[in-house]
Structure 1
Amino acid sequence: MQDPVTRLDERFSAPDAQATPWPAAREVLETAQLFWITTVHADGRPHVTPLVAVWLDDALHFCTGPEEQKAVNLSGNPHVVLTTGCNDWTQGLDVMVEGEARRVTDRSALERLAAAWAAKWDGQWRYQVTDAGFTHEAGEALVLAVRPTKILAFTKGTFAQTRYTPAE
């Protein structure tokens, strides 16, 4: 998300709070080791599970096996929320990304993403690129990208809620 519109939501912020600058929120997305994804079952119930993700080219990317519950849910409803942060009330920055998950099948994009996964986790996540996504020791993995429609950052300690939306 290049130069997003940044707004402090005063309703949910301390009186003297300042909007969190976009580079600080983007850094959290780039460096987070774990995210929680929320998808929706066909009957409307939420489904939440942890996963690893990579921020690249202004989108958050993740993988799933084609038979996993999140993949099944996404086939009927592509809307997701991915959340990362820490369990401390007094410090840190929690970030939430909202958007639609879309398959990535472009081979050059997949090659770049496989390299990004390997680099981010010092080689612990190694994928081989296929025409359909990735393969690894556990089998096939679909690769999805979420281009944010909205990002929220929750600054703790100074208690600020900042909203980022794509520039028009």
Structure 2
Amino acid sequence: MDSKTEQRLQTERNIWLATNRADGRPHLVPVWFVWWNGRFYLGIQSGSVKAQNLARNPKVSLALEDGVRVVICEGTAVSLPSPISPELNQIFQTKYNWNFATDNEYDLLIQITPDKWLTWTGGDAEGNGGE
């Protein structure tokens, strides 16, 4: 992974998470995330559609919001046991001013290990440029 992509994963606020519903339809939502030690970390609600989908099928896709400098990741999700590590909690605190360790609503920590990356640079809104 190049340094620009790594930097974006550290600093971008949201990422789109795609999971699969029981009937096969995709479920796509923006979520907060942390990129740490080569993995994604998300805090979600244990009763959410995302959590139900991940319990059935841990395969996911993630995409940064930018449609010109595209970063897409396919990966495998696992739920991590509580409590969250102090170091990871501090990263969430610094990035979002969110203390995941004390949040009773968002009670499930998900770790996603990348399996495949897709990246490219497209043109601007007028169709100029691209690689």
The question of a shared fold, defined as TM-score above 0.5 by the shorter chain, is answered with yes
Q: % of aligned pairs identical?
A: 28
Q: CA deviation at 1:140?
A: 4.2
| Contact 1:103 1:143 survives alignment (8 Å) | yes
Task: Give the alignment's TM-score, normalised by structure 2.
Answer: 0.86
Kept in 1, the 8 Å contact 2:43–2:106? The answer is: no
Q: Do the aligned partners of 1:28 and 1:95 also contact (CA within 8 Å) in 2?
A: no
Q: Which runs of 5+ in 1 are unaligned?
A: 5-21, 129-134, 161-168
- Which residue matches 2:99? 126
**Deviation, structure 1 residue 110:** 2.6
Q: Distance in 2 between matches of 1:29 and 1:140?
A: 22
Q: Deviations over 1:80-109 (max 9, x none)?
A: 01111325x5xxx221111111112264x6
Whether the 8 Å CA contact 1:29–1:95 is kept in 2: the answer is no
Q: Is 1:103 aligned to residue 76 of structure 2?
A: no
Q: TM-score, normalised by structure 1?
A: 0.68
- Quick one: which of 54, 64, 81 aligns to 1:84? 64
SS of residue paired to 2:92: helix
Structure with larger Rg: 1
CA contact (8 A) 2:16 2:65 kept: no
Paired AA for residue 85 in structure 2: L
Aligned equivalents of 1:85, 1:45: Cα separation in 2: 21
Q: Indicate the structure whose relative CO is greater, using CA pairs within 8 Å and at least 6 residues apart.
A: 1
Aligned length: 126
Structure 2 residue runs without a partner (length 5+) = 124-128
